[in-house]
């Protein structure tokens, strides 16, 4: 096995009494686009800042290509950061901003000039080299910050919500561009975000964090289709959650009995026992509406959102289930009315059993 | 179509509306006049003495009671007065050297207090503003006692030390405010880009602090230029500064020469203070 680009071993960070990062273990492969995803205050930015060297570790170790760097000061680490608010030096031109890291490394002037020009061309900002940062738009500043980091050819590029300050349209465009750029330069990216869609769009793998801990690491599809906790299921996309007890086990096919004794069919790759209290997670788009079905309820709310129609169905025990149906034809949304009795069906493989 | 032509009553109504509007705007104008007048009086109270001072520096008569004609002779007298010349020289020596020393020390204190954590920080914080809140007269006596105690002869050196003592605080507070608005983001970015602490300071922190440092220095210079109380207590023979000299001159009699001198000092303060404020504001914008 190859040495990971970055490895975190039992990393803990306390701020006074507050535990910001609680025993994080992580291996990030070379050339990977890796995202740290979680709500604000989950410790994702602190984790990133510890890799950058801007925060000291309370305990644990960080390895960069197998070499311990936990005690190395930030300026000696071959990693660079794109900061959330770009942190461009306002007293220097764009060109001097990008050249900063190379100047610190005492690279010959000729080469600095060449590499700065290349980096600015790469982010399509070659014409603005003589401007000052305050003469640039947010999107332009973002690109300069990217060039300023990438020009040093770091072993790992750290990005702290770099698109957070941009408007939606620009953010979407930059997501694609960033992903392409990463594939082009082949540098390992560690990307911090609280935007699940952003993480799903760009990442090779995602680590979902909450309260200083990593809950799940996996490819976007794996995280979305097989969340291992209710938190992950809730955080990544919309989800429904049913509670019940295991009533029958047949290999990976599990029957779960809800409180009103309705039996729902689900699937689990975890080992569960009969009688065990479990939860069942099912995504709104994986449920089909019919006149009768596995679970029955009545339509409480119909929300038309153009591409889809969203139905909120109330079950007998008052649990609300959201169902999403694609509007395949123009009258699809008129199929059911409020108060209609409906049945819900799904492929058991799409309903995930979670231990409580 | 007919109902579109205004009827007679309608026209009367319109005229009444017009009159009412006219009355309301008249009242408004009156109110405006009153408040403008009031503001004008306040400003007159503030600035009339200054204007009189300046005007009478060009008065031919020795006495400030009558205007007898325009002249520049008091300025000529002023420039020929070698005592004033010597005092001006002393003032500039004191102001320049105390500004340089207090700017360096004040900036270092500001950086230390703002960027580093240490146990005695609250004490240092509190002590920093002491020279600003201590009455000048108390500070003057303290310094005088101190110089006597260490048996230092009063002269230019003691004035400079005294001015450094009160200027440090002003410089430190102004530079510190600038530092606080800068935050640590720029310094973190520099260290992320391989700059060690020394390089980070000279390449990033210091250039960004310059407006604050210059603002602080100008402020210190202005304070030093016109300090009387502390200077009076800490000066010795031959080390008279301009403000001390002026007070001495007024003891004998007030001549328009003093007006002329005050006018020149007024002009220098009026250029320095806005310059200092402008530097600080420009720093805030970048």
Regarding whether B140 and B39 lie in a shared domain, the answer is: no
Q: Which one has a higher pLDDT value, B195 or B252?
A: B195
* B115: Cβ contacts below 8 Å, ≥ 6 apart: B179, B184
Bridge-based pairing state of the strands A240-250 and A79-82: unpaired
Q: Please report whether residue B135 resides in a domain.
A: yes
Is A89 close to B186, i.e. CB distance below 8 A? Answer: yes
B46: containing domain: 1-56
Q: Which residues of A touch B208 (CB under 8 A)?
A: 89-91
| Residue B271, token pair as written in the block | 């250029």
Regarding whether B154 and B52 lie in a shared domain, the answer is: no
- What three-state secondary structure class fits A159? strand
Is A90 close to B189, i.e. CB distance below 8 A? Answer: no
Task: Tell me what pLDDT residue B206 has.
Answer: 94
Q: Is B203 on the interface with A (CB under 8 A)?
A: yes
Mean pLDDT of A72-77: 95
Q: Which residues of A touch B186 (CB under 8 A)?
A: 87, 89-90
**Is residue A171 within 8 Å of A154, Cβ to Cβ?**
no
Q: Please report whether residue B234 resides in a domain.
A: yes
CATH, residue B248: 1.10.3720.10
Q: Please report whether residue B202 resides in a domain.
A: yes
Is B207 close to A73, i.e. CB distance below 8 A? Answer: no
Spatial distance between the Cα atoms of A282 and A36, rounded to a whole number of angstroms: 24
Spatial distance between the Cα atoms of A352 and A31, rounded to a whole number of angstroms: 32
At A331-350, the pLDDT tens digits run 776 788 888 899 999 999 89
Task: Tell me what pLDDT residue B266 has.
Answer: 87
DSSP string of B152-217, one letter each residue: PPPSHHHHHHHHHHHHHHHHHHHHHHHHHHH-SHHHHHHHHTT--HHHHIIIIIHHHHHHHHHHHH
Is A89 close to B204, i.e. CB distance below 8 A? Answer: yes
Is B193 close to A100, i.e. CB distance below 8 A? Answer: yes
Band of pLDDT at residue B99, cut at 50, 70 and 90: very high
Regarding whether B82 and B52 lie in a shared domain, the answer is: no
Mean pLDDT of B257-284: 81
Q: Which residues of B touch A55 (CB under 8 A)?
A: none
Is B191 close to A75, i.e. CB distance below 8 A? Answer: yes
Regarding whether B157 and B227 lie in a shared domain, the answer is: yes
**Of A35, A7, A81, A27, which is closest to residue A191 (Cα–Cα)?**
A35
Burial pattern B60-97, b for ≥16 Cβ within 10 A else e, equals eeeebeeeeeeeeebbeebeebeebebbbebbeebbeb
At A279-310, the pLDDT tens digits run 999 999 999 988 888 888 999 999 988 888 99
Which site among B194, B205, B207, B209 would you substitute to test the A interface, given the most A Cβ atoms closer than 10 Å to its Cβ?
Answer: B194
**Is residue A179 within 8 Å of A198, Cβ to Cβ?**
no
**Of A100, A55, A53, which is closest to residue A73 (Cα–Cα)?**
A53
Regarding whether B168 and B46 lie in a shared domain, the answer is: no
The model's pTM is 0.80
Residue owning tokens 């602490």: B197
Regarding whether B84 and B13 lie in a shared domain, the answer is: no
Q: Please report whether residue B125 resides in a domain.
A: yes
Which site among B182, B184, B189 would you substitute to test the A interface, given the most A Cβ atoms closer than 10 Å to its Cβ?
Answer: B189
Band of pLDDT at residue B100, cut at 50, 70 and 90: very high
Alpha helices in chain A (DSSP H): 44-52, 94-104, 109-122, 138-150, 168-185, 196-202, 220-225, 230-235
Regarding whether B84 and B39 lie in a shared domain, the answer is: no
Helices (H) and strands (E) in chain B, counts: 12, 0
Task: Tell me what pLDDT residue A170 has.
Answer: 87
Enclosing H/E stretch for B251: helix B242-252
**Is residue A309 within 8 Å of A325, Cβ to Cβ?**
yes
User: Chain B closest CA to A90's CA: distance in Å?
Assistant: 7
**Of B160, B181, B164, which is closest to residue B239 (Cα–Cα)?**
B160
Spatial distance between the Cα atoms of B259 and B64, rounded to a whole number of angstroms: 10
At B171-226, the pLDDT tens digits run 999 999 999 988 899 999 999 999 999 999 999 999 999 988 998 998 899 899 88
Is residue A149 pLDDT above 90, yes or no? yes
Please report, to the nearest 10 degrees, the dihedral formed by the alpha carbons of residues A216, A219, A221, A224 taken in order.
Answer: 20
Q: Please report whether residue B61 resides in a domain.
A: no
Q: Please report whether residue B71 resides in a domain.
A: no
Spatial distance between the Cα atoms of B181 and B171, rounded to a whole number of angstroms: 16
Is B192 close to A80, i.e. CB distance below 8 A? Answer: yes
**Is residue B143 within 8 Å of B233, Cβ to Cβ?**
yes
Q: Is B191 on the interface with A (CB under 8 A)?
A: yes
User: Chain A closest CA to B190's CA: distance in Å?
Assistant: 8
Q: Which one has a higher pLDDT value, A12 or B125?
A: A12
Band of pLDDT at residue B147, cut at 50, 70 and 90: very high
Percent of chain B surpassing pLDDT 90? 40
C-alpha A334, offset from chain centre: 36
Is residue B108 pLDDT above 70, yes or no? yes
Regarding whether B213 and B135 lie in a shared domain, the answer is: yes
**Is residue A23 within 8 Å of A10, Cβ to Cβ?**
yes
Q: Please report whether residue B30 resides in a domain.
A: yes
Averaged pLDDT of chain A: 91
Spatial distance between the Cα atoms of B172 and B161, rounded to a whole number of angstroms: 17
**Is residue A282 within 8 Å of A244, Cβ to Cβ?**
no
Structural domain count, chain B = 2
Mean pLDDT of A199-219: 95
Q: Which residues of A touch B286 (CB under 8 A)?
A: 90-91, 134
Band of pLDDT at residue B2, cut at 50, 70 and 90: very low
Is residue A356 pLDDT above 80, yes or no? no
DSSP string of B99-160, one letter each residue: HHHHHHHHHHHHHHHHH---TTHHHHHHHHHHHHHS-HHHHHHHHHHHHHHTTPPPSHHHHH
Considering only CB atoms, B196 lies closest to which of A54, A75, A148, namely A75
At B42-73, the pLDDT tens digits run 999 999 989 988 888 888 888 777 888 888 88
**Is residue A293 within 8 Å of A317, Cβ to Cβ?**
no
CA gyration radius, chain A: 25
Is residue B1 pLDDT above 50, yes or no? no
Cβ neighbourhood burial of A94 (10 Å; 0-12, 13-18, 19+) = buried
Is B286 close to A90, i.e. CB distance below 8 A? Answer: yes
At A227-280, the pLDDT tens digits run 989 999 999 988 999 999 999 888 888 899 888 888 889 988 778 888 889 999
* A335: Cβ contacts below 8 Å, ≥ 6 apart: A289
Spatial distance between the Cα atoms of B218 and A306, rounded to a whole number of angstroms: 64
Spatial distance between the Cα atoms of A151 and A221, rounded to a whole number of angstroms: 32
Task: Tell me what pLDDT residue B254 has.
Answer: 76
Mean pLDDT of A17-37: 95
Cβ neighbourhood burial of A34 (10 Å; 0-12, 13-18, 19+) = buried
Q: Taking chain A, what is the end-to-end CA distance rounded to the nearest angstrom?
A: 35
Bridge-based pairing state of the strands A67-68 and A240-250: unpaired
Burial pattern A148-159, b for ≥16 Cβ within 10 A else e, equals bbbbbebbbbbb
Regarding whether B81 and B45 lie in a shared domain, the answer is: no
Regarding whether B116 and B15 lie in a shared domain, the answer is: no
Min mean pLDDT across A40-44, B16-20, B133-137 is at: B16-20
Regarding whether B140 and B237 lie in a shared domain, the answer is: yes
**Of A238, A237, A321, A242, which is closest to residue A280 (Cα–Cα)?**
A242
Q: Which residues of A touch B204 (CB under 8 A)?
A: 89
| ipTM rounded to 2 decimals | 0.84
Q: Which residues of B touch A104 (CB under 8 A)?
A: 193-195, 199
Regarding whether B221 and B123 lie in a shared domain, the answer is: yes
Q: Please report whether residue B70 resides in a domain.
A: no
Taking the alpha carbons of A226, A157, A10, A30 in that order, is the dihedral positive or negative?
positive
| Adjacent-strand bridge partners of B46 | none
Residues of A with a Cβ under 8 Å from any B Cβ are 52-54, 73-76, 79-81, 83, 85, 87-91, 100-101, 104-105, 134, 148, 152
Cβ neighbourhood burial of B41 (10 Å; 0-12, 13-18, 19+) = exposed
Task: Tell me what pLDDT residue A222 has.
Answer: 93
Min mean pLDDT across B25-34, B104-113, B272-281 is at: B272-281
């Amino acid at each position: 096995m190859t040495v990971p680009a970055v490895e975190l071993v039992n990393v803990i960070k306390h701020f006074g009494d507050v535990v910001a990062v609680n025993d994080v273990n992580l291996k990030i492969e070379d050339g990977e686009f890796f995202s740290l995803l979680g709500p604000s205050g989950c410790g994702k930015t602190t984790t990133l800042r510890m890799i950058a060297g801007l925060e000291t570790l309370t305990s644990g170790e960080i390895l960069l290509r197998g070499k311990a760097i936990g005690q190395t000061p930030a300026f000696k680490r071959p990693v660079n950061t794109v900061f959330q608010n770009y942190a461009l030096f306002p007293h220097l031109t764009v060109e001097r901003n990008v050249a900063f890291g190379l100047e610190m490394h005492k690279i010959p002037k000729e080469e600095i000039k060449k590499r700065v020009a290349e980096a600015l061309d790469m982010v399509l900002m070659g014409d603005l080299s003589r401007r000052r940062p305050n003469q640039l738009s947010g999107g332009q500043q973002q690109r300069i910050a990217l060039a300023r980091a990438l020009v040093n050819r770091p072993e790992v590029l750290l990005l702290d919500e770099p698109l957070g300050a941009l408007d939606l349209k620009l953010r979407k465009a930059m997501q694609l561009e960033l992903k392409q750029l990463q594939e082009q330069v082949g540098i390992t990216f560690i990307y911090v975000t609280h935007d699940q869609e952003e993480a799903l769009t760009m990442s090779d793998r995602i680590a979902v964090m909450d309260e200083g801990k990593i809950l799940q690491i996996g490819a976007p599809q794996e995280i979305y289709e097989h969340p291992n906790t209710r938190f992950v299921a809730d955080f990544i996309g919309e989800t429904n959650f049913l509670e019940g007890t295991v009533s029958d086990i047949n290999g990976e096919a599990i029957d779960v009995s809800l409180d009103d004794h309705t039996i729902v069919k689900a699937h689990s790759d975890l080992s569960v026992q009969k009688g065990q209290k479990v939860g069942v997670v099912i995504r709104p788009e994986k449920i089909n509406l019919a006149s009768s079905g596995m679970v029955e309820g009545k339509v409480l709310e119909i929300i038309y959102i153009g591409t889809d129609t969203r139905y909120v169905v109330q079950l007998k025990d008052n649990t609300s289930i959201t169902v999403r149906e694609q509007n395949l034809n123009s009258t699809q949304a008129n199929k059911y009315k409020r108060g209609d009795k409906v049945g819900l069906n799904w492929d058991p493989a799409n309903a995930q059993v979670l231990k409580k | 179509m007919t109902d579109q032509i205004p009827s007679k009553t309608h026209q009367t109504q319109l005229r009444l509306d017009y009159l009412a509007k006219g009355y309301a705007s008249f009242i408004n104008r009156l109110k405006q006049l009153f408040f403008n007048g009031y503001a004008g009086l306040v400003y007159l109270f503030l600035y009339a003495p200054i204007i009189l001072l300046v005007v009478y520096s060009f008065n031919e008569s020795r006495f400030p009671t009558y205007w007898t004609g325009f002249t520049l002779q008091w300025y000529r007298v002023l420039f020929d007065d070698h005592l004033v010349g010597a005092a001006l020289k002393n003032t500039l020596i004191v102001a320049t050297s105390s500004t340089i020393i207090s700017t360096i020390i004040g900036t270092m204190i500001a950086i230390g207090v703002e960027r580093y954590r240490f146990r005695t920080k609250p004490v240092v914080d509190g002590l920093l503003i002491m020279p600003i809140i201590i009455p000048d007269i108390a500070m003057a006596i303290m310094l005088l006692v101190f110089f006597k105690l260490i048996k230092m002869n009063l002269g230019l050196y003691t004035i400079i030390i005294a001015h450094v003592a009160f200027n440090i605080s002003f410089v430190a507070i102004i530079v510190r405010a600038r530092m606080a608005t800068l935050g640590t983001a720029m310094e973190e970015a520099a260290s992320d880009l391989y700059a060690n602490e020394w390089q980070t300071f000279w390449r990033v922190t210091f250039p960004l602090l310059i407006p604050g440092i210059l603002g602080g220095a100008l402020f210190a210079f202005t304070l030093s230029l016109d300090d009387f109380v502390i200077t009076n207590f800490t000066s010795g023979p031959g080390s008279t500064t301009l403000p001390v000299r002026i007070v001495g001159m007024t003891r004998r009699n007030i001549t328009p020469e003093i007006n002329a001198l005050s006018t020149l000092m007024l002009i220098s303060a009026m250029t320095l203070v806005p310059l200092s404020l402008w530097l600080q504001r420009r720093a805030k914008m970048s």
